[in-house]
Amino acid sequence: MQPGGNTRYILAVLGSIAMAIIYGLKVNLSVAMVAMLNHSALAHNAASAVGANEQHHQVNAEPVCQGSNSTEAVEDGPFIWSEPVQGIILSCYFWGYLVSQVPGARVAESFSARWVMFFSVLINVVCTLLTPVAAKMHYVAMIVMRIGEGIGGGVTFPAMHVMLASWAPPNERSVMSAIVYAGTALGTVISMLMAGVLAGTLGWESVFYVMGGLSCLWMVLWLWLIQDTPTKQALISQEERDLITTSLGTGAASAHNEPKPPVPWRKVFTSAPFYGILIAHMCNNWGWYMLLIELPFYMKQVLQFNIKENAVVTAIPFLTMWFFSMALSKTLDALRSRGKITTTIARKTATFIASAVPMGCLLALCYIGCQRGLAVALMTIGITAIGGMFCGLLSNHIDIAPNYAGTLMAITNTAATLSGIIVPIFVGQITHGNQTIGAWRVIFFVTIALYVVEIIAYLLLASGEEQPWNKGDKPASSIEAAEAEATPLNTKESKQSYNGQDQ
């Protein structure tokens, strides 16, 4: 039991469930679509196209693997959506996600993060429940539903950052943040397992009805138990309220009414450490979305796993990723607190692991052919290692500019979201009529090249030190006066902020 009560940890747990819902409803289509498609018809169409047009791109491409269980059940659904159409349907989630992040952050900060989070889940639930109807109408209706889910999903990270800023005492931020953002990995695992089981037993429609329906319970609990700040919360002890507000300094807010300086845009966009984060975030997200969205299709198309096997094999690595990210974060924090490594070394080490290991696994995957057991092991190791990004590049914004960490995250995450749009379309085009090991080898090599770019850019440009422009565009005399008065405290607070923001 934490001192002062546990209302803030109820927030953390419900926040974690919210992140699990958002991520679960995002990835369930990747698994469900395997059961929704008429693979026999698509294969026939692809074979006809190849025969008619004498496609040259399959000359050097190995055929798909012959899975021992691939004939166990005919997993044909009602939809004959070509690979490009599949790619558009999967990528359009990120169209909505792309445009909602910055506006969502502003609404959460200016109005209410609690209500932003509520409507985020509500939009996802409604669109999920309507997905079966939309799919039967036309794939364009599916696109509309996915864009809606993306709009809701895009505001979740900014909203939860605002909630944590109001609720998490500095010495508990790492714990509360870990609880909240663990929901992304756990939601992926649970969703993939549930989607596989539901699609394989009750039909693909059940994936959306069951998961959407269960998510409604969270909305009731959220509105009943959670408020924007401890001062607005009724279900909290006075001791816990005082503990939070005193530690955050919100109890004496009137003494800190000086407005935050405006974002120094010119200095941000001429900062090498900022570009190190930006490039790494974009490249790493390509690999992340490649595995998050496209892995079920590789398992089906090439390795010939059936729907239930597919769900299990795809989900397990995200569970190991969560454990690994927690262990790596604590290890690097311990080394840093003992003075063994600097913040810069910690960030670069975690980011290097999150890029070099999956890069090596993808390279090996290109040449092992149909060794299904080895392929699963490699993909598990690769996805697990990606968890290093949580205590690597994704934590780096607050190191270089704690005053503008939210703005920097919005910029880099918006740019990185482009990968979520491009990846499904890119994979759909490459595998259209060519669902072979050779086609996926091309996809993997492109991903490997981007990992190389990430490693070089981040090692050369990134820094864990606070940048001078974190003070804004104040006149030099103002900066010198502020530094003379506040630098010792600032350094301490920056370290506290780092320790509490591992996401």
Residue 167 CB contacts under 8 Å (≥ 6 apart), including other chains: 8, 11, 176, 229, 230, 244
Percent of the chain with pLDDT over 70: 78
Ranges of H-type helices in 54-172: 83-91, 93-107, 113-137, 139-154, 156-167
Higher pLDDT, 246 or 280: 280
Transcribe 337-366 into DSSP letters: HTTSS-HHHHHHHHHHHHHHHHHHHHHHHT
Residue 28 near residue 207 (C-beta atoms within 8 A) = yes
Residue 118 CB contacts under 8 Å (≥ 6 apart), including other chains: 219, 222, 223
Largest Cα span, the chain: 77
**Measured CA angle at 156 (ends 193, 471), to 5 deg:** 135
Is pLDDT above 90 for 145? yes
**Average confidence (pLDDT) over 57-63:** 47
Q: Does the CA dihedral 239-243-245-246 come out positive or negative?
A: positive
Q: Euclidean distance between the first and final Cα of the chain, in Å?
A: 24
**Average confidence (pLDDT) over 29-51:** 71
Is pLDDT above 90 for 160? no
Distances 20 to 13, 51, 124, 150 between C-alpha atoms, Å: 10, 45, 12, 15
What is the rounded distance in angstroms from the CA atom of residue 381 to the CA atom of residue 390?
16
Strand partners, 37: 79
**pLDDT tier at 166, thresholds 50, 70, 90:** confident
**Average confidence (pLDDT) over 321-346:** 83
The 10s digit of each residue's pLDDT in 458-472 is: 999 999 888 999 776
The 10s digit of each residue's pLDDT in 261-320 is: 677 889 999 999 999 999 999 999 998 888 766 776 777 777 777 655 666 776 778 788
Is pLDDT above 60 for 134? yes
Q: C-alpha dihedral over 238, 241, 242, 247, to 10 degrees? A: 160
Residue 333 CB contacts under 8 Å (≥ 6 apart), including other chains: 174, 346, 391, 499, 502
The 10s digit of each residue's pLDDT in 72-130 is: 444 577 788 877 888 788 778 888 888 888 888 778 767 888 999 999 999 999 999 99
**Average confidence (pLDDT) over 233-239:** 86
As given in the structure block, the two tokens for residue 206 are 């059940």
What is the rounded distance in angstroms from the CA atom of residue 220 to the CA atom of residue 222?
6
DSSP label of 171: G
Report which of 323, 329, 328, 310 is spatially closest to residue 379, judged by C-alpha positions: 310
DSSP label of 112: I
**Average confidence (pLDDT) over 134-143:** 90
Mean pLDDT computed over every residue of the chain: 78
Is pLDDT above 50 for 70? no
Transcribe 19-39 into DSSP letters: HHHHHHHHHHHHHHHHHHB-H
- pLDDT value at residue 359: 94
- pLDDT value at residue 172: 65
Residue 308 CB contacts under 8 Å (≥ 6 apart), including other chains: 196, 197, 200
**Average confidence (pLDDT) over 189-208:** 84
**Average confidence (pLDDT) over 145-166:** 85
pTM of the model: 0.71
Strand partners, 79: 37
Is pLDDT above 80 for 381? yes
**pLDDT tier at 348, thresholds 50, 70, 90:** very high
Is pLDDT above 80 for 221? yes
Is pLDDT above 60 for 50? no
Higher pLDDT, 464 or 221: 221
Token pair 């005919």: residue: 74
What is the rounded distance in angstroms from the CA atom of residue 130 to the CA atom of residue 148?
11
- pLDDT value at residue 238: 87
**pLDDT tier at 345, thresholds 50, 70, 90:** very high
The 10s digit of each residue's pLDDT in 388-424 is: 887 788 778 777 876 676 677 778 888 888 887 788 8
**Structural domains of the chain in order of their starting residue, each with its CATH number:** 7-42+77-230 (1.20.1250.20), 266-467 (1.20.1250.20)
